[in-house]
Amino acid sequence: MPPKSRITREMIVDAAFEIARGSGAEAVNARTVAQKLNCSTQPVMYHFATMEDLKRAVYSRTDRYHTEYLMRASGKFDPLLEIGLNYIRFAIREPHLFRFLFQSGYAKENNLLEMIDSEELVPVLSAMQEGIGLDREKTKGIFLTVALFVHGYASIIANNKLEYDEDLIASHLERAFIGALLAVEQEGDHEKTV
């Protein structure tokens, strides 16, 4: 008789991620994960004492997936613009995951300043810093301004089915970026004269 397949913690998180992706995080429970894995609920409860623990693990998995998604480059736009467009594309293509990440209350950070210092943003900020050639603090300032703009666009599209016009949105993001860059440069000029 062949040995029974062993359900691992990773398999459970992957199954729960797929459920969250297709139906929303609210659909993740021991029964739906067990059905996805074609097993009883016992392995799910063995690896995760509570569904809250499982959802936190799925949130971390989703956050890593989101960061990887942001860093994909199509080559059609400037790499910095591409990151912003990818954020909006993610909201369109993965609306359940977008809502889970940004509208569920599972984020570890309590405010935008904590978010900007999170480990998950290091690749994004590093790419941005390299692209614009400013120090880390000025890069964070630009990122914060543009991120608020991008998140607004993404939220409206994800929640209201607004039409996605990539060229129009790209032009808006370029303006927001240029405006944020000019504001940082003006602050630097102002500091020099004071």
Are 99 and 187 in a shared domain? Answer: yes
Q: Which of 55, 51, 54, 88 is nearest to 69 (CA)?
A: 88
pLDDT value at position 115? Answer: 77
Average pLDDT of span 123-144: 84
DSSP of 86-114, one letter per residue? HHHHHHHH-HHHHHHHHHSS--S-SSHHH
Q: Is the dihedral of CA 57, 59, 65, 71 positive or negative?
A: negative
Count up the domains in the chain and report the number. 2
> Who has greater pLDDT, 32 or 142?
32
Show the domain range for 170: 71-194
Are 4 and 99 in a shared domain? Answer: no
Residue 27 pLDDT level (bands cut at 50, 70, 90): very high
Average pLDDT of span 5-30: 95
pLDDT value at position 38? Answer: 95
| C-alpha angle 78-81-82 in degrees, rounded to nearest 5 | 80
Beta-carbon count within 10 A of 91 CB: 24
Are 93 and 147 in a shared domain? Answer: yes
> Who has greater pLDDT, 109 or 137?
137
pLDDT value at position 62? Answer: 96
> What is the Cα–Cα distance from 14 to 94, expressed in whole angstroms?
16
Average pLDDT of span 163-174: 89
pLDDT value at position 1? Answer: 44
Q: Is the dihedral of CA 80, 83, 86, 88 positive or negative?
A: negative
Are 76 and 20 in a shared domain? Answer: no
Q: Is the pLDDT of residue 66 over 70?
A: yes
Are 113 and 153 in a shared domain? Answer: yes
Quick check: helix, strand or coil at residue 1? coil
Are 99 and 190 in a shared domain? Answer: yes
Average pLDDT of span 159-177: 87
Record the pTM. Answer: 0.82
Q: Is the pLDDT of residue 14 over 50?
A: yes
Is residue 90 within 8 Å of residue 21, measured between CB atoms?
no
Are 46 and 109 in a shared domain? Answer: no
Are 28 and 76 in a shared domain? Answer: no
pLDDT value at position 194? Answer: 46
Are 24 and 46 in a shared domain? Answer: yes
Instruction: Give percent of the chain above pLDDT 70.
Output: 91
Average pLDDT of span 76-86: 83
Residue 78 pLDDT level (bands cut at 50, 70, 90): confident
> What is the Cα–Cα distance from 189 to 194, expressed in whole angstroms?
9
Which one-letter DSSP state was computed for residue 38? Answer: T
Are 101 and 116 in a shared domain? Answer: yes
pLDDT value at position 193? Answer: 52
Are 17 and 33 in a shared domain? Answer: yes
Are 28 and 94 in a shared domain? Answer: no
> What is the Cα–Cα distance from 102 to 74, expressed in whole angstroms?
25
